[in-house]
């Protein structure tokens, strides 16, 4: 099925299935079922089978799914059967934490450059990376053909930097800034704002 015809909510669940399967593989599991995946993730087995059927047939009735094979297929679907070079913009406390995080590479993403506009940060280190001036950001991103960026800047700077990233050829932005950014339709944006998730949870707490 064409990516344009797969509902976004289905696509959003595929990484959850991939993570659960990877945990199973690490525990040396060879076979699983939609029921087991559902129990792990809080979905019905019917929902999981329906989601996977959007992309093809990956298991056999009565025998379940081969864990390694299904991991390979989901990685292919999500296009993380390759490593995507990624630019990080913003070298504050959060940017340093992201630059130092070691969990991206084995899941298909590799930070390759870090940018900031603060003169005292340029030339210093953020994890293993030398911080570059945002003045050369577009040139560097174009030169290396990077398609993905992470924004870890203050909210006030996010929109301008997002526009510059799009101009440089970025097609996907993971935005940690606590704001919404406007980009062309062909650019995908995902947001990570812990406060929003905390506010969602407090709705359910007793007073």
- Sequence-separated contacts (24+) of 121-130 with Cβ below 8 Å: 121/91, 126/88, 126/91, 126/95, 126/96, 126/99, 126/100, 127/96, 127/99, 127/100, 128/99, 129/88, 129/99
| 4: pLDDT strictly greater than 80 | no
Residue 162: CB partners within 8 Å, gap ≥ 6?
Answer: 151, 173, 175, 181, 182, 183, 189
Q: pLDDT value at position 5?
A: 83
Structure tokens at 12: 């959003």
Domains of the chain by residue range: 3-77, 84-196
Q: What tens digit of pLDDT does each residue of 35-58 get?
A: 999 999 999 999 999 999 999 888
Question: Taking residues 192-199, what's their average pLDDT?
Answer: 93
The architecture CATH gives domain 84-196: 3-Layer(aba) Sandwich (3.40)
**Contact call for residues 162 and 173 (beta carbons, < 8 A):** yes
Q: What tens digit of pLDDT does each residue of 55-111 get?
A: 988 877 677 899 999 999 999 999 999 999 999 999 999 999 999 998 999 999 999
Q: CATH: 3.40.190.10, 1.10.10.10, 3.50.50.60, 3.40.1110.10. Which one for 3-77?
A: 1.10.10.10
Residue 170: CB partners within 8 Å, gap ≥ 6?
Answer: 87, 141, 146, 147, 148, 149, 187
Closest CA to 108 of 78, 138, 139: 78
- pLDDT level of residue 3 (50, 70, 90 thresholds): low
CA distance 142 to 165: 10
Structure tokens at 137: 């950001």
Q: What tens digit of pLDDT does each residue of 162-187 get?
A: 999 999 999 999 999 999 999 999 99
Beta-carbon count within 10 A of 89 CB: 29
Q: Which residue has the tokens 């030398």?
A: 130
Determine the number of helices (DSSP H) and then strands (DSSP E) in the chain.
Answer: 8, 9
Structure tokens at 72: 């390979």
Go through the chain and tell me how many residues it has.
207
């Amino acid at each position: 099925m064409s990516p344009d015809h797969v509902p976004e909510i289905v696509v959003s669940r595929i990484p959850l299935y991939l993570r659960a399967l990877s945990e199973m593989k690490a525990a040396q599991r060879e076979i699983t079922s939609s029921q087991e995946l559902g129990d792990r993730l809080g979905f019905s087995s019917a929902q999981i089978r329906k989601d996977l059927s959007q992309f093809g047939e990956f298991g056999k009735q009565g025998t379940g799914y081969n864990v390694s094979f299904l991991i390979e297929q989901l990685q292919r679907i999500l296009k993380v059967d390759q490593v995507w070079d990624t630019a990080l913009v913003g070298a504050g406390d959060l940017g340093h934490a992201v630059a130092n995080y070691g969990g991206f590479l084995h899941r298909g993403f590799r930070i390759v450059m870090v940018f900031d506009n603060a003169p005292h940060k340029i030339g210093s280190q953020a994890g293993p990376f030398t911080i570059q001036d945002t003045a050369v950001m577009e040139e560097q991103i174009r030169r290396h053909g990077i398609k993905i960026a992470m924004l870890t800047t203050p909210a006030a700077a996010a929109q301008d930097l997002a526009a510059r990233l799009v101009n440089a050829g970025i097609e996907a932005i993971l935005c940690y800034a606590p704001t919404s950014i406007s980009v062309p339709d062909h650019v995908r944006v995902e947001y990570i704002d812990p406060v929003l998730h905390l506010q969602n949870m407090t709705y359910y707490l007793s007073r």
